[in-house]
Amino acid sequence: MTDERTIAMERLREQGLGCTRCDLHLSGTHVVWGEGDLHAQVMLIGQGPGEQEAKAGRPFVGPSGEVLNEWLATTGIDRSKLWISNTIKHWATSLNERGRRVNRTPKTSEVQACRIWIEGELTIVAPKILVCIGAPSAQAIIDKKFKITESRGQWFKGPNDEDVIATFHPSYLIRLRAADVAAYDAAWAQVLDDFRAVAERAGELNIDLN
């Protein structure tokens, strides 16, 4: 039987697929909608799709997704028990020196234009815990001046009184691995602490994540 959330999310998704609220819809790539358990009590909110996600039309399936999967597996969190979405739904790109499209940070105007979709997802899924992956997500959900390096791993309140925590983005770790192995190891351990904090808070709220 199709439940009310499925119907509501399908309606919202259909509207989102036709979104023209910012210029990113001109990119000609897929809208990457959230996915997972519509009854999830924990929702992950990333920055926005990368190249692989834009091709597949699914969140966190490329290199960042592999890193995220490792964090979840290491901290005993089952990905299928989450709702996973992004702050923006289209791939935000700039051209590199060889004329190739590469990821870029979303503009504030793009995040604002996309905000209605994440708000809609929050209303339908109604999670108790939000995990912001990376600064644009934390700035959209917690505070526009949020600094991951200063405030990751701390609990805040979300727009609907959810418990919210922010952590580093996998792409930051991927860049750090190539640049500074000691800093990478330290950041990796911090991310695992953050996901363990999520698992612990979920336990306190009787949310099954395993």
Residue 50 interacts with ligand URA (CB under 6 A): yes or no: yes
Residue 47 interacts with ligand URA (CB under 6 A): yes or no: yes
Residue 29 interacts with ligand URA (CB under 6 A): yes or no: no
Contact window for ligand URA (CB under 6 A) among 9-17, 18-26, 59-67, 152-160: 59-67
Residue 59 interacts with ligand URA (CB under 6 A): yes or no: yes
CB of 199 to ligand URA, least distance (A): 21
With tokens 């209605």, the residue in question is: 116
Helices (H), 37-99: 51-56, 63-74
Q: Could you say which residues in the range 186-205 bind ligand URA, by CB under 6 A? A: none
Residue 64 interacts with ligand URA (CB under 6 A): yes or no: yes
Q: For the CA atoms of 31, 32, 36, 42, what is the dihedral angle to 10 degrees? A: -110
| Identity of the residue, 115 or 182, whose beta carbon is nearer to ligand URA in the bound complex | 115
| Distance between CA atoms of residues 10 and 33, nearest Å | 10
Q: Residue 109, exposed/middle/buried by CB under 10 A (0-12, 13-18, 19+)?
A: exposed
Residue 139 interacts with ligand URA (CB under 6 A): yes or no: no
Taking CA atoms, 107 is separated from 91, 104, 159, in Å, by: 12, 9, 21
β-sheet bridge partners, residue 101: 95
Positions touching ligand URA (CB under 6 A) are 46-50, 53, 59-60, 64-65, 86, 133-134
